[in-house]
Amino acid sequence: MRDTADILRLENLQVHFPIQGGLFDRVLGRPSGAVRAVDGIDLTIGRGEIVALVGESGSGKTTVGRVITKLAQPTGGNLLFDGRDMSSERGASPLRPYRRRVQMIFQDAYQALNPRHTVFDIVAEPLRSLRLVENDAQLTERVSEALTGAGLNPPGDFFARFPHELSGGQRQRVVIAGALAVKPELIVADEPVSMLDVSIRAQILQVLVDLRDKHNMALLFITHDLPLAWLIADRIAVLYLGKLVEIGSADDITYNPRHPYTVALLNATPQIGGDADRGKLPALQGEVPSAARVPKGCRFHPRCPLAFDRCRQEEPPANEVGPRHMSACWLAK
């Protein structure tokens, strides 16, 4: 039976980056302010659960991933892992047990594989640095297991290869194998397939879903692609300018969206057989505003086709709109 207790809980989590005001600003005593990359989010991930975090570029997705994996420090709120508050833990050795349990697959890891390291060394690196193996035989066994888990078969064929001797999809699987080798309980995968061909994409998704099914691993899957989120995730959380504007089951978000921003994302998604009933709302104009200048009231109001007076003054709270379905919009009741 699957243990469904939460493995991760974010409570009002914030990551504000200070803006380094220039000399000029300091002389004039101007406030230097902050980039509010993550601006108070509440989210839980259950053991064995796949949650997709969706939003435009600049909405704060990567920063959420970095703070969960302790590559960025929260400036407010709590990060609880397996019931324990990790918000203020710092430093390599106190964090070592945490890094064994939580791994991140990076957005740009595809290019970031060290070209001079073999596949074996790339996958062995976290096992060595986290001291998870006692001898070479164990190391080889764990690396083989991880490569197989990521669909690189037979693993021995890949040990001595360098990244340039692999196809794009194989390279991405090496990155995944590096995260798997550690046998984490939670993986944060940042746009792991967005640059890949659809055919390879499906192979990688299958690997991630198998890990959940076989090892009850939890996954935070970061993407801007809603149909992809719908395909892989149990729940979807929609992020806009550092705040979650809607959370619900993958089906609720896809078939019954209750926030105008979610609707805009769905409308913008190209679709096969595509002239379905679209265009209920006009297409979104412009881009996500800078996180250094978060609009007053509802942060989506400057781009929202349904905005009215109240939206420009007061920030809407998270409203319950159904079972485990939340929307932060004045119109969602």
Ligand X SMILES: Nc1ncnc2c1ncn2[C@@H]1O[C@H](COP(=O)(O)OP(=O)(O)O)[C@@H](O)[C@H]1O
User: Which of 248, 250, 282, 249 shows the shortest CA–CA distance to 263?
Assistant: 282
Least spacing, CB of residue 199 vs another protein, in Å: 4
Segment 244-273, which members bind ligand SF4 (CB under 6 A)? 260
Instruction: Provide the binding-site residues for another protein, judged by CB under 8 A.
Output: 56-58, 167-169, 195, 197-203, 205-206, 209, 224-228, 230-232, 254-255, 264-265, 267-274, 276, 283-284, 287
The CA distance from 57 to 31, in Å, is 27
30/293 with CB nearer ligand SF4: 293
Assess contact for 254 and 226: CB atoms under 8 A. yes
73 binds, among ligand X, ligand SF4, another protein, none (CB under 5 to 8 A by kind): none
The CA distance from 303 to 283, in Å, is 10
Label the pairing between strands 218-223 and 50-54: parallel
Alpha-carbon torsion, ordered 221, 223, 225, 230, to 10 deg? 10
User: Which of 35, 2, 111, 61 shows the shortest CA–CA distance to 244?
Assistant: 61
Least spacing, CB of residue 261 vs ligand X, in Å: 13
Assess contact for 238 and 265: CB atoms under 8 A. yes
Residue 73 DSSP class: -
17 binds, among another protein, ligand X, ligand SF4, none (CB under 5 to 8 A by kind): ligand X
287 binds, among ligand SF4, ligand X, another protein, none (CB under 5 to 8 A by kind): another protein
Give the Å distances, CA to CA, from 181 to 170, 191, 276. Answer: 16, 20, 44
Selected binder of ligand SF4 within 306, 313, 320, 322 (CB under 6 A):
306
Segment 59-118, which members bind Mg ion (CB under 5 A)? 62
Selected binder of ligand SF4 within 34, 307, 318, 321 (CB under 6 A):
307
269 binds, among another protein, ligand X, Mg ion, none (CB under 5 to 8 A by kind): another protein
Contact flag: residue 58 with ligand X (CB under 6 A): yes
Contact flag: residue 35 with ligand X (CB under 6 A): yes
300 binds, among another protein, ligand SF4, Mg ion, none (CB under 5 to 8 A by kind): ligand SF4
226 binds, among ligand SF4, ligand X, another protein, none (CB under 5 to 8 A by kind): another protein
The CA distance from 122 to 175, in Å, is 8
- For the chain, where are the alpha helices, taking DSSP H only? 23-27, 61-68, 92-101, 109-112, 119-129, 136-149, 168-180, 198-215, 226-232, 250-255, 260-268, 309-313
271 binds, among ligand SF4, another protein, Mg ion, none (CB under 5 to 8 A by kind): another protein
Assess contact for 170 and 113: CB atoms under 8 A. no
Instruction: Work out the widest C-alpha separation in the chain, in whole angstroms.
Output: 67
Contact flag: residue 55 with ligand SF4 (CB under 6 A): no
Window 273-312: contact mask with ligand X (x via CB under 6 A): -----------------xx---------------------
Contact flag: residue 72 with ligand SF4 (CB under 6 A): no
- Name the residue with tokens 């060290």: 114
Least spacing, CB of residue 179 vs another protein, in Å: 19
| Binding residues for ligand X (CB under 6 A) | 17, 35, 37, 55, 57-63, 290-291
| Binding residues for Mg ion (CB under 5 A) | 62
